[in-house]
Amino acid sequence: MTEAAIRIEGLHKTYRGGKGQPEKHALKSIDLTVPQGSVFGLLGPNGAGKSTLINILAGLVIKSAGQVSIWGFDQDQYPRQSRATIGVMPQELNLDPFFTPRGALEVQAGLYGVPKSERRSDEILELVGLSDKAEAYARTLSGGMRRRLLLAKALVHHPKVLVLDEPTAGVDIELRQMLWTNVRKLNEQGMTIILTTHYLEEAQEMCDEIAIINHGEKVAQDSTANLLGRMDSRTMVIIPDSPVIALPAAEGVETMLRDDGSLVLHYRSNQTSAEQVLESVRQANIRIRDVRTEEADLEDVFLALTSSRADDPPADDQNQPRRGIHRVKL
Ligand SMILES: Nc1ncnc2c1ncn2[C@@H]1O[C@H](COP(=O)(O)OP(=O)(O)OP(=O)(O)O)[C@@H](O)[C@H]1O
């Protein structure tokens, strides 16, 4: 069995309610194992509990119950060691405006007790592309540069596990690429990466394994490939040569006509072949001008697992092929 970078058992977090407000169960009995060396995605809709979980790992929020161990160090028994093995790049740009990047890294290294001889501030600044700003005050840095500095700060104590909380929210393409290049590099060097993101295609591309939490509960954890493999829904979109008069009928195929005249056929690849779908179209005397198919992606998996209590799709979305997301039960 692969060693766990993070092991969480029965984790609960209850926030006290404000005036007259009920308490909030932000995490409800979460069990989670993050394998060493993985790029691990922690996904969930807004308010699912991701930040609470990350803040507990970072030692910033006190759990209500449960066990957390980081790199084998139980958080309660070995608080200092467990904190020393994890680095967190937070969402908020909370930097002291009066420090320069080099100064901020030196202070951070001092806080973690990294001896001067083991500090690598310049190397880290180089890695995140801030060498030429090493002596600039943080208040003069752009938003993107501040984010680079937050990543640099998370790395000063050579953590085994790096947590990135929404690292690419609202950042430009160049910074996004820099982040992912660095994440890959650090991961190749053996660092375990935990990532939350709202960009599901990014998680699909970057993560080996994914956990999805919803309303404080874990609803799935699997390799990205297995999660995607669970969805056998397919969609075929056909542009007919002339307006469709009669819809094709085939068992296991759900058919709809869009306002633009295209024909959308939903089917499950383990029950119906693409050939059978096409045959039903021919049987209905529809001549095909163009055809394309869509496979399920992580967004479909995510919605299938989290949409039960989510809002309905916006009205302007109703004409889009839904790719089976509300029909599929995993
Ligand atoms: N300090 C707090 N006091 C009371 N309730 C809180 C507190 N922090 C978070 N919550 C609540 O706990 C729940 C989980 O919040 P959390 O921020 O962990 O979710 P999230 O998945 O990170 O959401 P987002 O993606 O929007 O950041 C939410 O309902 C939130 O309102």
pTM over 0.90: no
> Architecture of 231-317 per CATH?
2-Layer Sandwich (3.30)
> Architecture of 4-228 per CATH?
3-Layer(aba) Sandwich (3.40)
319 C-alpha vs ligand 1 centroid, how far in Å? 33
253 C-alpha vs ligand 1 centroid, how far in Å? 41
Q: Which of 15, 30, 166 for mutating ligand 1's site (highest number of atoms within 8 Å of CB)? A: 15
Answer for the pair 156, 119: CB distance below 8 angstroms, yes or no.
yes
The full set of domain ranges for the chain reads 4-228, 231-317
Residues in the chain: 330
Give the phi and the psi of residue 68 in degrees, each rounded to 5.
-130, 125
Answer for the pair 157, 126: CB distance below 8 angstroms, yes or no.
no
Distance CA 84, CA 72 (A): 12
Provide the residue-wise pLDDT of the chain in tens; the chain has 330 residues: 457 999 999 999 999 988 888 899 999 999 999 999 999 999 988 889 999 999 999 998 999 999 999 999 999 999 999 999 999 998 887 788 888 999 999 999 999 999 999 999 999 999 999 999 999 988 889 888 999 999 999 999 999 999 999 888 878 888 889 899 999 999 999 999 999 988 888 888 899 999 999 999 999 999 988 887 777 778 899 999 999 888 988 888 999 999 999 999 988 888 888 899 999 999 999 999 999 887 777 877 788 788 754 443 433 333 333 332 222 333
Who lines ligand 1 at CB under 6 A? 15, 24, 26, 44, 46-52
Could you check whether 4-228 and 231-317 share the same CATH topology? no
User: What 3-state DSSP class applies to 49?
Assistant: coil
199 C-alpha vs ligand 1 centroid, how far in Å? 19
